[in-house]
């Protein structure tokens, strides 16, 4: 009977839309209340990961130390979303110097890759499902090096000790959660068939996903972490693990071209924060290759002339939010990519430019898809737009330590279960599918085209909000290209409507990526559908899974929220 049920699930899944069949969907809703603390706090996407971070903070560790422990545990207990086989962006507030830094651990394309990387034998772009599974979609992972950089700069505790909880849990085993079990089932028809290692780990001897509560051990991951604990990240980027990754990406039906040179050339980059003004706050995030901070910043600046506080949440406000999102996503598609490879406009957050764009919003009626604007930049029209949309996946966590140091970090292997290729007990990313598959359009190059060593554009938007130069809010989310909408919506809820973090992350989602307006099924947002349609919106009710985590920093109090759509928790003291 159990095998029959699995077969029926697979048959049903085979006919679902490409986006809907991704495993990172909402499987359950968990009612939560905001959590308060006074000394330190962590909010992460799995209870064991949050506890690993809390234990570090209780022992006197820094936010950077906690981030190492959290990420390693997430790799083990939430393997479908992030890990050392992927990439990440992090914002770090150093309390001692009162400075905000941002860290780019995004994956890179092979140095030998060119603009034709995703073109088939016929010269046309390959289809997304054909590109994801196997080694060709794998970029050089950056998460581990990012953690090492943060630890070297801001850490207090020994590196090996921070990896110990994940090593111990991998050896002794951890209970498979309901979400992980359902996610495995959702991915069976797609990317979990990519490697024998993945099948052997996620399925029983009969090919059935492990059920909720099964104690799952991962000795291979324990061994990998043991090598990293003893020898640092050099083993991963220059040693046996790098060789294993390269070999695994080549032994698939869709082989990649990664080399040892790609791994030894990889670097984490510290980049300037991108900050947008909004109602007396500075909303700061990660710049290119992430489009997150720029696009979130544009949405907020486009909305600033409207009295959202007086409107409150409802169809009127969400209409304005959707129209602002169209304009921001249009600029994102044309201009935003890895700024190490392309010239980025300096005026995308220019106040005069944003004011002019905001005047295009009609408060009473929706208009069709927006065109990109022309910011104050001499070369504003040399590129063609790229509408590539990242698929739902990813994880986010936030930490405040007892000394006032803070981190907001979004981490990913892209699509749930990434490329499906597993090596050393961890999954490899499929981030190269975040590049534009078409290198040019109408004779113009696409800014987000593939180039050797380039980082694909991302929507990840880890955010720290400042007031009078000090942090007051940490927030971020998974969710593919809807991350931008999820984060911007949570910011409006907290900054305009005074919601506490839990209420803000729990509100029903509204998103427009310069097309139709998506409303979250089964939520209060779905009730706005008829009113939005009356204003001209093309409305679709969808499963819109996020994983928002937020901490509000008040006067002597921390208030945290964890997304009801996932299994995360907030812990603090």
Where residue 381 falls among pLDDT bands split at 50, 70, 90? low
- DSSP string covering 154-219: H--S-HHHHHHHHHHHHHH-EEPPHHHHHHHHHHTTTTTTS-HHHHHHHB-TTSPBPPTT-EE--H
Q: Rounded CA gap, 329 and 481, in Å? A: 10
Q: Rounded CA gap, 205 and 557, in Å? A: 50
Where residue 4 falls among pLDDT bands split at 50, 70, 90? very low
Alpha helices per DSSP H over 399-543: 483-495, 501-506, 529-534
Where residue 195 falls among pLDDT bands split at 50, 70, 90? confident
- For the segment 309-330, the average pLDDT, to the nearest whole number, is 97
Report the sign of the C-alpha dihedral through residues 386, 389, 390, 396, in that order.
positive
Q: Collapse the DSSP code of 244 into the 3-class scheme (helix H, G, I; strand E, B; otherwise coil) and give the result.
A: helix
Which helix (H) or strand (E) segment is 198 a member of?
helix 196-202
Where residue 188 falls among pLDDT bands split at 50, 70, 90? confident
Return the active site residues: 394
Mean pLDDT estimate for the chain: 92
CA atoms within 13 A on the CB side of 114: 1
User: 389: which residues sit within 8 A by CB, 6+ positions away?
Assistant: 19, 480, 481, 513
Alpha helices per DSSP H over 336-480: 351-358
Which helix (H) or strand (E) segment is 395 a member of?
strand 393-400
- Determine the pLDDT at residue 5: 33
- Determine the pLDDT at residue 25: 78
User: 285: which residues sit within 8 A by CB, 6+ positions away?
Assistant: 91, 102, 273, 274, 275, 292, 293, 296, 297, 461, 462, 463, 464
Condensed to tens digits (0 to 9), the pLDDT of residues 21-36 reads 344 677 777 888 999 9
Condensed to tens digits (0 to 9), the pLDDT of residues 384-424 reads 676 665 555 699 999 999 999 999 999 999 999 999 999 99
Q: Rounded CA gap, 63 and 400, in Å? A: 6
Condensed to tens digits (0 to 9), the pLDDT of residues 103-121 reads 999 999 999 999 999 999 9
CA atoms within 13 A on the CB side of 241: 30
Q: Rounded CA gap, 397 and 399, in Å? A: 7
Report the sign of the C-alpha dihedral through residues 231, 233, 236, 237, in that order.
negative
The residue assigned the tokens 């169809």 is 315
The candidate with the shortest Cα–Cα distance to 49, out of 393, 502, 419, 395, is: 395
The candidate with the shortest Cα–Cα distance to 9, out of 261, 168, 183, is: 183
Angle (CA) 292 106 69, round 5°: 100
CB atoms within 10 A of CB 404: 16
Percent of the chain at pLDDT > 90 equals 87
Contact 279, 309 (CB under 8 A): no
Alpha helices per DSSP H over 304-450: 308-311, 315-335, 351-358
* DSSP secondary structure code for residue 209 in this structure: B
Condensed to tens digits (0 to 9), the pLDDT of residues 516-564 reads 999 999 999 999 999 999 999 999 999 999 999 999 999 999 999 999 9
Domains of the chain: 2-107+132-270+388-572 (3.60.20.40)
Contact 145, 266 (CB under 8 A): yes
* DSSP secondary structure code for residue 43 in this structure: E
Which helix (H) or strand (E) segment is 128 a member of?
helix 128-132
Secondary-structure breakdown of the chain: helix, strand, coil percentages, each rounded to the nearest 5: 35, 20, 45
- Within the chain, what is the greatest distance between any pair of CA atoms? 65
Q: Rounded CA gap, 191 and 349, in Å? A: 39
Condensed to tens digits (0 to 9), the pLDDT of residues 455-500 reads 999 999 999 999 999 999 999 999 999 999 999 999 999 999 999 9
The answer, yes or no, to whether the previous bond of 512 is cis (omega within 30 of 0) is no
Q: Rounded CA gap, 276 and 297, in Å? A: 5
User: Is residue 10 predicted with pLDDT exceeding 50?
Assistant: no
User: Is residue 190 predicted with pLDDT exceeding 90?
Assistant: no
Which helix (H) or strand (E) segment is 566 a member of?
none
The answer to whether the predicted template modeling score (pTM) of the entire model surpasses 0.85 is yes
- Determine the pLDDT at residue 1: 35
- Determine the pLDDT at residue 23: 44
User: Is residue 58 predicted with pLDDT exceeding 90?
Assistant: yes
Q: Rounded CA gap, 200 and 463, in Å? A: 38
- Determine the pLDDT at residue 388: 62
């Amino acid at each position: 009977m159990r095998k029959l049920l699995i077969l029926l699930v697979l048959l049903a899944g085979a006919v679902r839309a490409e986006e809907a069949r991704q495993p990172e969907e909402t499987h359950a809703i968990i009612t939560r209340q905001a959590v308060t603390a006074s000394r330190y706090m962590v909010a992460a996407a799995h209870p064991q990961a949050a506890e690993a971070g809390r234990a570090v903070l209780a022992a006197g560790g820094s936010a950077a130390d906690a981030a190492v422990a959290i990420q390693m545990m997430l790799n083990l207990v939430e393997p479908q979303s992030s890990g050392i086989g992927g990439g990440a962006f992090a914002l770090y507030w150093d309390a001692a110097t009162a400075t905000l830094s941002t860290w780019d651990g995004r994956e890179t394309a092979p140095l030998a890759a060119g603009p034709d990387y995703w073109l088939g034998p016929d010269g046309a772009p390959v289809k997304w499902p054909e590109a994801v599974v196997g080694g060709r979609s794998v970029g050089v992972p950056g998460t581990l090096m990012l953690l090492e950089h943060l630890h070297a700069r801001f850490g207090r505790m020994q590196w090996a000790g921070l990896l110990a909880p994940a090593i111990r849990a991998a050896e002794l085993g951890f209970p498979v959660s309901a979400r992980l079990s359902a996610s495995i089932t959702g991915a069976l028809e797609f990317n979990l068939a990519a490697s024998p290692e993945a099948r052997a780990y996620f399925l029983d001897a009969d090919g059935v996903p492990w059920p909720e509560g099964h104690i799952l051990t991962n000795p291979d991951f324990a061994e990998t972490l043991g090598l990293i604990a003893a020898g640092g990240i050099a083993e991963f980027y220059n040693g046996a693990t790098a060789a294993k990754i390269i070999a695994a990406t080549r032994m698939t039906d869709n082989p990649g071209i990664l080399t040892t040179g790609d791994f030894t050339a990889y670097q984490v980059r510290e980049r300037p924060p991108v900050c947008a003004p909004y109602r007396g706050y500075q909303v700061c995030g990660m710049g290119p290759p992430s489009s997150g901070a720029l696009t979130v910043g544009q949405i907020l600046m486009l909305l600033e002339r409207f009295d959202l506080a007086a409107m409150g949440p409802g169809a009127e406000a969400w209409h304005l939010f959707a129209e602002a999102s169209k304009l921001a996503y249009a600029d994102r598609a044309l201009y935003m990519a890895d700024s190490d490879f392309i010239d980025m406009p300096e005026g995308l957050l220019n106040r005069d430019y944003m004011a002019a764009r905001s005047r295009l919003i009609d408060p009473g009626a929706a208009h069709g898809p927006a065109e990109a604007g022309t910011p104050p930049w001499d070369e504003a029209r040399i590129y063609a737009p790229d509408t590539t949309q990242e698929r739902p996946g990813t994880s986010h966590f936030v930490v405040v330590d007892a000394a006032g140091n803070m981190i907001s970090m979004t981490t990913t292997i892209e699509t749930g279960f990434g490329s499906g290729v597993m090596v050393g007990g961890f999954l490899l990313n499929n981030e190269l599918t975040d590049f534009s598959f078409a290198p040019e359009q109408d004779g113009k190059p696409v800014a987000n085209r593939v180039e050797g060593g380039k980082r694909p554009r991302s929507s990840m938007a880890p955010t720290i909000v400042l007031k009078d130069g000090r942090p007051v809010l940490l927030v971020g989310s998974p969710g593919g290209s809807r991350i931008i909408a999820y984060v911007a919506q949570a910011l409006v809820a907290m900054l305009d409507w005074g919601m506490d973090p839990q209420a803000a992350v729990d509100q029903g989602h509204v998103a427009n990526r310069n097309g139709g307006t998506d409303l979250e099924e089964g939520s209060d947002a779905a009730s706005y559908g008829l009113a939005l349609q009356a204003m001209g919106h093309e409305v679709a009710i969808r499963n819109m899974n996020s994983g928002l985590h937020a901490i509000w920093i008040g006067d002597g109090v921390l208030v945290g929220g964890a997304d009801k759509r996932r299994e995360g928790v907030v812990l603090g003291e």
